[in-house]
Amino acid sequence: MMKTVSTSKSHGGVQGVYSHASEVCACDMTFAVFVPPQAAKGPVPVLWYLSGLTCTHANVMDKGEYRRLAAELGLIVVCPDTSPRGESVPDEKDNWQFGSGAGFYLDATEAPYAKNYRMYSYITEELPALIAANFPADMERQGIFGHSMGGHGAITIALKNPGRYRSCTAFAPIAQPSTAGWSRPALEKYLGADEAAWRTYDATLLIADGRRFPELLVDQGTADSFLEEGLRPQLLEKACRDAGMELTLRMQDGYDHSYNFISTFMDDHLRWHADRLR
């Protein structure tokens, strides 16, 4: 059963925060949903935003500046958490790149993480069912986007579910997590030492293995301190070029990895999705 944590009117719509007991993640999960004013007349498209490392639903809700234009365009915006949480959930409290806040939008297979860390199934199965049952959502018109770890999640989920999502964009995504220094150790702990199991959660390798999505939009700041070591958009660019897949990669001069960057280009991404969800 879904519980309402809070609701607040914004731009004629309602920004809510909700919680529920997740069977998939075996713990309580919290998420945010913005419902635009157009939903009073019937179901509207759904846009999923996946946050990055260390974040919760609250980061983009508080700093993403999406509500004004989402209300104008008539988009429901769903902001899930980034991982399971709770005293019974295994974690490495001193490691911001793993465990709590760092679910990497995958389904873990290794003990002791396999019981709780099932964010892929949570985002693609359990939470959509909850949204469909409780909100005026047109589930035939869905888009997905995200930031950093969430950008990685958005692209990999879209590539594996191209019939579900009509649009996909990302801010500074981890392009190839199987070789990036800040994600490779997490993949090994969640999925085991056999790197073949990692391919299904790596955008560049999914594309190399034949997965396709009609088109992607990616914004990346040139002053991002994680650009060369963790993000490496050139690898995604090459994978798309080799596959003949359409990618709009915009290198934004002087922008970093923060929500100052995300909020600057949020309107562009919302319009991109709205155009494809009409």
Q: How far apart are CA 227 and CA 39, in angstroms?
A: 39
Burial of 115 (0-12, 13-18, 19+ CB in 10 A): middle
Q: Which residue bears the tokens 């963790």?
A: 230
224 catalytic residue (yes or no): yes
148 catalytic residue (yes or no): yes
Q: Which of 83, 148, 167, 178 is catalytic?
A: 148
Q: Which of 152, 257, 269, 273 is catalytic?
A: 257
Q: Which of 81, 202, 219, 224 is catalytic?
A: 224
The pair of structure tokens assigned to 10 is: 């914004």
Burial of 229 (0-12, 13-18, 19+ CB in 10 A): exposed
Residue pair 231/220 in contact by the 8 Å Cβ criterion:
yes
Determine phi and psi for 176, rounding to 5 degrees.
Answer: -135, 80
Q: How far apart are CA 224 and CA 221, in angstroms?
A: 5
Residue pair 48/243 in contact by the 8 Å Cβ criterion:
no
Known catalytic residues are 148, 224, 257
